[in-house]
Each structure stands twice: as C-alpha cells, then as structure tokens.
C-alpha cells in the first residue's frame, strides 16, 4: 500500500495523516494483509467494500494503535498524586470513578490502579477507586484483561512496584499483573466515535494519545462534548501532553497552567432567597 492509497483511506475515515506519521508503516502492513484476505488488490475496491458494516468495523480496528507504557509522562503521575487525587477526594467518602478511554493494552489503567493502591496503603481513608477502561479493539481489551507484559514493558518501573504488583510468568519470559490489582478495573469494548459515553459520572477522564491524535479535529468536536458531559463538576479531564483540545469550551479550565490537564468548572452553590419574617 503506497502513501497515496493510505491517504485515501484516512480521508474516508476522517483520520489524520499527521497523527499516523510514526505508526504508518505497521498500520499499512495490517491493512495490506486484510486487502489480500478479501481479494481486493486496489484501494478503490477496498473503499467500496467499506459499505459492508462488518468490513468497516474490521478496518477501524486495524487502524487502532496500541502503543503505550506504564506511567507514561512522569509529570502527569506526579501531578495526579500531589494535586489531582487530593483535590477530588477532599471531604469525600464515596467511590471515585475514573475512565481510561482508548486504553489500548491497559498500561494506563493499571498505572492508575497502582498509584491509587500505593496511596491507599499510606492513607486508609482514601475512597475506593473504580476504573472503566475502554477501547475499540476487542483484541486489545482481551490482552489488557490478561495483564501479561513483556520484560521491556516494565523495564522503567521501580523495584518497589515490580515486586508488589507484578510476578514472572510460568515460563519466565513475561510479567503478569497481580490479580488483586485487576479488581480496580472493568474492561469494555467501546467505540468513542459511534457510541455514547458510559452512563457513569466520572471524576477523572483520561483521553490521552488516541482520539485527539488520530482523528481530524473537525470530526470529533461533538464526540468531545459528549465525553465532557460524563465528567463530574470539578472533575479532571486529561489529554496527551502534545495534544490540544479540538474546540474551546467554557466548562474546562487549564489546571494550574497545564496545557493538557483541565478541570471542569464546579457548579456554583445556589443562593437561596432570604425572606424577612413577617411580624
């Protein structure tokens, strides 16, 4: 598949050429294999085949990118621990809900669970955390649920985290996430572009290096607003450190000057009318 053919497909799916710059080679290889399986050597034929809902769904999944790693962007995780978590848990005893949207192979969801569990051991009063991790690709969700990662995936983790939250697989080639850590997370196949956000109200939404990277800005404004509707007042909306919001909204404010961490405006406390007592 040449670049011109790939551009045609991106245009059809309203995806970003620039967003796929670093992963183009691998994605094109997957798509070329799929074209051969369907017996469609020409891109024009492939584009026509997208009128079949099942083929379209397969192509959309082939376009998904699963590159990630544990505790991606150390500055974010420091801010989560020192600023965000104390903010959303202050005076709160009920469960905290977080959504890792476009979770790929699950490293982000597990990172949040690890961070929360470590803080919970220091402060037993910390509320319970429930993470919903979603992705369009069921293969990614299956691998994330299994929680098995190669040695290179955990290379940068501290010895404390490795010993507490991972153990070697039976053959010694991989590392497995501790089973109790999985209790923090519910996994779900979900297409942000076509499905409404989950019904929960979230205090944290992580939408990093997925929707805003790979889709064209003009195609995702309504999706962005739908996602934002599921964020609780005072909740935090976090995107990739190099991403930008597709549109401006008065309901989000940069958190302490950050370009990728936002807090949703808290609803003002209603002022009740005062009545003079009749004498």
Domain final position from 17, 38, 62: 62
Q: Span 227-235, mean pLDDT?
A: 96
Q: What angle do the packed helices 53-62 and 24-38 form, to 10 degrees?
A: 150
Query: Is residue 269 a part of any domain in this protein?
Result: no
pLDDT attached to residue 164: 96
Of the candidates 251, 100, 125, the one whose C-alpha atom is nearest the C-alpha of residue 188 is 100
Domain final position from 35, 62, 89: 62
Query: Is residue 278 a part of any domain in this protein?
Result: no
Q: Span 214-236, mean pLDDT?
A: 95
DSSP string, 159-183: HHHHHHHEEE-TTSSEEEE-GGGGG
Query: Is residue 276 a part of any domain in this protein?
Result: no
Query: Is residue 67 a part of any domain in this protein?
Result: no
Q: Are residues 55 and 141 in the same domain?
A: no
Q: Are residues 9 and 146 in the same domain?
A: no
Query: Is residue 48 a part of any domain in this protein?
Result: yes
Domain final position from 12, 39, 62: 62
Query: Is the model's pTM score more than 0.95?
Result: no
Taking only the tens place, the pLDDT of each residue in 136-185 is: 999 999 999 999 999 999 988 999 999 999 999 999 999 999 999 999 99
Q: Are residues 110 and 187 in the same domain?
A: yes
CA distance 176 to 162: 10
Q: Span 210-238, mean pLDDT?
A: 95
Q: Are residues 147 and 224 in the same domain?
A: yes
For residue 279, pLDDT over 50 is answered with no
Query: Is residue 277 a part of any domain in this protein?
Result: no
Q: Are residues 26 and 88 in the same domain?
A: no
**How many independent structural domains does the chain possess?**
2
Q: Are residues 114 and 212 in the same domain?
A: yes
pLDDT band, residue 93 (cuts 50/70/90) = confident
Which structural domain range is residue 164 located in? 74-264
Round the average pLDDT of the chain to a whole number and report it: 93
Query: Is residue 200 a part of any domain in this protein?
Result: yes
pLDDT band, residue 276 (cuts 50/70/90) = very low
Q: Span 14-25, mean pLDDT?
A: 96
Q: Are residues 102 and 211 in the same domain?
A: yes
Q: Are residues 19 and 149 in the same domain?
A: no
Q: Are residues 58 and 78 in the same domain?
A: no
Q: Are residues 101 and 223 in the same domain?
A: yes
pLDDT band, residue 110 (cuts 50/70/90) = very high
For residue 15, pLDDT over 80 is answered with yes
Query: Is residue 272 a part of any domain in this protein?
Result: no
pLDDT band, residue 247 (cuts 50/70/90) = confident
pLDDT attached to residue 267: 62
Q: Report the CATH number that the domain containing residue 260 is assigned in CATH.
A: 3.40.50.150
For residue 193, pLDDT over 70 is answered with yes
Q: Are residues 125 and 193 in the same domain?
A: yes
For residue 242, pLDDT over 60 is answered with yes
SS3 content of the chain, % helix, strand, coil (to 5): 45, 20, 40
Least confident of 28-32, 221-225, 269-273: 269-273
pLDDT attached to residue 273: 52
Q: Are residues 129 and 199 in the same domain?
A: yes
């Amino acid at each position: 598949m040449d670049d011109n053919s790939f551009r045609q497909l991106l245009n059809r799916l309203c995806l970003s050429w620039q967003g796929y710059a670093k992963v183009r080679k691998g994605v094109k290889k997957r798509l070329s294999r799929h074209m051969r399986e369907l017996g469609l050597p020409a891109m024009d034929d492939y584009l026509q085949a997208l009128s079949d809902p099942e083929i379209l769904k397969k192509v959309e999944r082939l376009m998904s990118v699963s590159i990630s790693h544990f505790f991606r962007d150390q500055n974010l995780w420091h801010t989560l621990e020192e600023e965000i978590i104390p903010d959303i848990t202050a005076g709160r005893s009920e469960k905290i809900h977080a959504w890792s949207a476009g979770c790929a192979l699950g490293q982000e969801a597990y990172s949040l669970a690890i961070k929360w569990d470590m803080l919970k051991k220091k402060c037993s009063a910390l509320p319970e955390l429930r993470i919903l991790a979603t992705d369009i690709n069921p293969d990614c969700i299956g691998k994330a649920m299994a929680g098995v990662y190669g040695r290179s995936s955990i290379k940068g983790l501290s010895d404390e985290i490795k010993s507490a939250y991972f153990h070697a697989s039976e053959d010694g080639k991989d590392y497995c996430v501790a089973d109790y850590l999985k209790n923090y997370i519910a996994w779900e196949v979900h297409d942000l572009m076509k499905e409404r956000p989950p019904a929960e109200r979230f205090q944290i939404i992580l939408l990093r290096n997925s929707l805003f990277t790979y889709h064209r800005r003009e195609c995702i404004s309504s999706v962005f607003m739908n996602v934002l509707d599921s964020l609780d007042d005072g909740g935090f909306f976090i995107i990739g450190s190099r991403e930008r919001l597709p549109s401006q909204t008065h309901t989000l404010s940069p958190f302490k000057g950050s370009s990728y961490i936002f807090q949703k405006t808290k609803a003002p406390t209603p002022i009740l009318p005062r009545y003079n007592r009749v004498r």
